[in-house]
């Protein structure tokens, strides 16, 4: 069993890591308190603006600072769009180098500020490095099609151009990786970026801002404001959402947030990349390898204390293997080490805050009322870390998919439901409003292919013999329905950060019109 951190020991560590990461002390003052979920204590302070945006506000007293920051980002874009893409890729390559150099400290800060266990903190920074590598290569591969035309001596082609300022709104649970998925692509595509991180994780954002500044200093000649950090709450996000100088807004967070921002962006015909809540399921078939399934389910459901958008929340187990799997799951849930995420051996760190704990308890109450058998879910370590919320992950055997199962509760709760045929299980997988990630555990080819087919999972991510969480950056990431439909990271996600122009070129001396239309004048 892991231990729990003692209140009072985190602030000094945060201060030391921020110093090593090069966050200047002026950025660490202001009216807002930054808390660590490890103990719930205040570990630093921050102001509404930071980095380039703060410098700008100082230079322009009286001007609206958010307005001015977006204005400067737009001006940066006007220059950056003309820099050749492979050269833009060089900036992102340097960012990747700086992230490699800062990996240990930034990962430690992710742990201190977001509560991830050490290996997941390191994994998050590795993901940033990976997307930088990907985007650097991409900077030489931004390409369009050449298409045959019906007209003689004509050629048709597609060209891709930068959009402008890309606004990034991010959630607390991936405090730095989400910025990098967006920023690395947006920058090589020729855009500027304004980032509004979660108000729960301002310190990691300040650290990334400092790391980016080191990359720009090495690159030389980067226009001021190319990447701007806007710290603040919902209002700062709303400023990005409503500003017509921000043609693309990539918003990651709850479905409630997406429901608020999507119509506002649509009202001005902006482009929204929405990465919202998930309610991810896995189906365990009769032929499943149960050892592998057990490990995959444990990581997907309990990892990151159930605070991943792709966390496994619903498990449909075939009746023929239910009694072989579920008791082993109970055993794993009862013994998983919960506690100080800095300690080697801890697998489950704290929830982000009290609200998360309250939401978890209320979901468990609803599950009990619907006939669920709840084990786990209790608070741990409260005598050491007074204002922190460590919980034993909860395993809930449900008689059916009740309303509380169909809602995303951002906490480690796994609902287990018995099924008897695959159609029924796929139906249950799809019978929720969200559509992010899903998995099937089977060694039967027909079942696996059925799950991946048009009549299978309706999610943006569908896996076989892998849990729904822990995606690689090479694939496009995102989901359907109330998850928002956006795609980020790999594959051709870059297209969302560019505008497509279709060009038709007449290299002849006559003017044949398409569809045989004639129009003779004179
Ligand atoms: P949240 O919705 O509370 O906040 C996310 C961000 O949106 C924050 O920066 C917040 O300040 C901002 N925001 C909130 N309301 C806004 C508004 N009206 N206008 C503009 N900005 C606004 O989410 P959270 O608690 O930080 O994160 C957890 C949620 O995020 C979960 O639902 C999780 O599934 C989801 N998530 C989704 C993905 C994905 O890729 N699909 C990734 C990570 C997290």
Mapped to the 3 state alphabet, what secondary structure does 434-487 carry? EECEEEEECCCHHHHHHHHCCCCCCCCEEEECCCCCCCCCCCEECCEECCCCCC
What are the residues facing 228 on neighbouring strands?
A: 194
Instruction: Give the Å distance between the CA of 414 and the centre of ligand 1.
Output: 21
Assess contact for 297 and 333: CB atoms under 8 A: no
Predicted confidence (pLDDT) per residue in 27-75, tens digit: 999 999 999 999 999 999 998 766 556 666 677 777 788 889 999 999 9
Helices (H), 22-84: 51-59, 65-80
Q: In whole angstroms, give the CA distance from residue 406 to residue 326.
A: 21
Predicted confidence (pLDDT) per residue in 241-289, tens digit: 999 999 999 999 999 999 999 999 999 999 999 999 999 999 999 999 9
CB neighbour list of residue 206: distance below 8 Å, 6 or more residues apart: 18, 23, 27, 28, 46, 50, 51, 229, 231
Outline which parts of the chain fall under CATH 3.40.605.10.
48-275+492-498
**Chain center to CA of 39:** 25
Instruction: Give the Å distance between the CA of 301 and the centre of ligand 1.
Output: 20
Q: According to the model, what pLDDT value does residue 2 have?
A: 79
The 3-state DSSP class for residue 20 equals helix
Q: In whole angstroms, give the CA distance from residue 46 to residue 26.
A: 9
Beta-carbon neighbour count of residue 291 at 10 Å? 9
Q: Which of 41, 98, 113, 275 is catalytic?
A: 275
Q: In whole angstroms, give the CA distance from residue 408 to residue 417.
A: 16
Q: According to the model, what pLDDT value does residue 54 have?
A: 65
Q: According to the model, what pLDDT value does residue 23 have?
A: 96
Assess contact for 325 and 317: CB atoms under 8 A: yes
User: Which atom of ligand 1 lies closest to the CA of 275?
Assistant: 41
Q: In whole angstroms, give the CA distance from residue 399 to residue 143.
A: 52
What are the residues facing 158 on neighbouring strands?
A: 502
Q: According to the model, what pLDDT value does residue 55 have?
A: 67
Q: According to the model, what pLDDT value does residue 384 have?
A: 74
Instruction: Give the Å distance between the CA of 175 and the centre of ligand 1.
Output: 11
End-to-end CA distance of the chain: 90
Q: According to the model, what pLDDT value does residue 155 have?
A: 97
User: Which atom of ligand 1 lies closest to the CA of 253?
Assistant: 30
Nearest to 279 by CA among 484, 489, 424, 483: 483
Q: CB-hemisphere CA count at 13 Å for 199?
A: 11
Q: In whole angstroms, give the CA distance from residue 480 to residue 437.
A: 9
Instruction: State which CATH number among 3.40.309.10, 3.30.300.30, 3.90.870.10, 3.90.1150.10 fits the domain covering 280-476.
Output: 3.40.309.10
Outline which parts of the chain fall under CATH 3.40.309.10.
280-476
Q: Return the residue whose CA atom lies nearest to atom 13 of ligand 1.
A: 234
Instruction: Give the Å distance between the CA of 325 and the centre of ligand 1.
Output: 34
275 assigned to active site: yes
Tell me, which fold does domain 48-275+492-498 have in CATH?
Answer: Aldehyde Dehydrogenase; Chain A, domain 1 (3.40.605)
Instruction: Give the Å distance between the CA of 420 and the centre of ligand 1.
Output: 36
Instruction: Give the Å distance between the CA of 276 and the centre of ligand 1.
Output: 7
Q: According to the model, what pLDDT value does residue 383 have?
A: 82
DSSP 8-state class, residue 26: G
Strand 280-284, strand 312-318: pairing? parallel
- Residue list, ligand 1 pocket, CB within 6 Å: 169-174, 196, 198-199, 233-234, 237-238, 241, 252-254, 257, 260-261, 275-278, 309, 408, 410, 436, 483
Q: Return the residue whose CA atom lies nearest to atom 30 of ligand 1.
A: 253
Q: Which residue has the tokens 């799950």?
A: 451
Q: In whole angstroms, give the CA distance from residue 499 to residue 516.
A: 30
DSSP string, 238-265: HHHHH-TT--EEEEES-HHHHHHHHHHH
pLDDT beneath 50: ranges in the chain: none
Q: Which residue has the tokens 């001007």?
A: 63
Pocket test for ligand 1, best of 254, 280, 410 (most atoms within 8 A of CB): 254
Predicted confidence (pLDDT) per residue in 452-506, tens digit: 999 999 999 999 999 999 999 999 999 999 999 999 999 999 999 999 999 999 9
**Chain center to CA of 483:** 12
Q: Return the residue whose CA atom lies nearest to atom 8 of ligand 1.
A: 198
Q: CB-hemisphere CA count at 13 Å for 337?
A: 13
Instruction: Give the Å distance between the CA of 138 and the centre of ligand 1.
Output: 28
């Amino acid at each position: 069993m892991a231990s729990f951190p003692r209140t009072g020991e985190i602030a000094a560590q945060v201060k030391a890591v921020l110093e090593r990461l090069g966050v200047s002390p002026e950025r660490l003052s202001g009216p807002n308190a930054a808390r660590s979920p490890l103990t719930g204590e205040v570990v630093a302070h921050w102001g509404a603006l930071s980095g380039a945006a703060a410098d700008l506000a100082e230079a322009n007293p009286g001007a609206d600072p958010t307005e001015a920051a977006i204005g400067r980002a737009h001006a940066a874009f006007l220059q950056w769009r003309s820099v050749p893409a492979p050269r833009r890729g060089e900036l992102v390559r340097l960012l990747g180098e700086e992230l490699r150099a800062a990996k240990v400290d930034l990962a430690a800060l992710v742990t201190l500020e977001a509560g991830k266990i050490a290996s997941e903190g390191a994994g998050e920074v590795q993901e940033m490095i990976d997307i930088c590598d990907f985007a650097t290569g991409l900077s030489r591969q931004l390409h369009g099609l050449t298409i045959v035309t019906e007209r003689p001596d004509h050629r048709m082609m597609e060209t891709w151009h930068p959009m402008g300022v890309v606004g990034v709104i991010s959630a607390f649970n991936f405090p730095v990786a989400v910025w990098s998925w967006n920023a690395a692509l947006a920058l090589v595509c020729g855009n500027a970026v304004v980032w509004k991180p979660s108000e729960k994780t301002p310190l990691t954002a300040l650290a990334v801002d400092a790391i980016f500044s080191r990359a720009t200093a090495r690159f030389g000649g980067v226009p001021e404001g190319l990447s701007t950090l806007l710290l603040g709450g919902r209002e700062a996000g709303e400023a990005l959402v409503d500003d017509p100088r921000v043609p693309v807004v990539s918003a990651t967070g709850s479905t409630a947030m997406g429901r608020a921002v999507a119509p506002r962006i649509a009202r001005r015909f902006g482009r929204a990349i929405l990465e919202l809540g998930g309610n991810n399921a896995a189906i365990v078939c009769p032929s499943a390898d149960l050892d592998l399934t057990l490990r995959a389910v444990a990581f997907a459901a309990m990892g990151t204390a159930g605070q991943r958008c792709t966390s496994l929340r619903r498990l449909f187990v075939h009746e023929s293997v239910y009694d072989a799997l579920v008791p082993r799951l109970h055993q794993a849930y009862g013994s998983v080490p919960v506690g100080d995420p800095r300690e080697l051996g801890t697998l489950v760190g704290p929830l982000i805050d009290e609200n998360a704990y309250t939401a978890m308890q209320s979901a468990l109450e609803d599950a009990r009322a619907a006939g669920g058998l709840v084990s786990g879910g209790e608070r741990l370590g409260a005598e050491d870390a007074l204002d922190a919320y460590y919980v034993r992950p909860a395993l809930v055997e449900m008689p059916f998919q009740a309303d509380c199962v169909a809602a995303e509760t951002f906490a480690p709760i796994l609902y287990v439901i018995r099924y008897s045929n695959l159609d029924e299980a796929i139906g249950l997988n799809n019978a929720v409003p969200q559509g992010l990630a899903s998995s099937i555990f089977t060694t039967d080819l027909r079942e696996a292919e059925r799950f991946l087919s048009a009549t299978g999972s309706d999610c943006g991510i569908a896996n076989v013999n892998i849990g729904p969480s822990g995606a690689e950056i090479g694939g496009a990431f995102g989901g359907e329905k109330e998850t928002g439909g956006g795609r980020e990271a790999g594959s051709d996600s870059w297209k969302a950060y560019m505008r497509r122009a279709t060009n038709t070129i007449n290299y002849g001396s006559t003017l044949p019109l398409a569809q045989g239309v004639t129009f003779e004048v004179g």
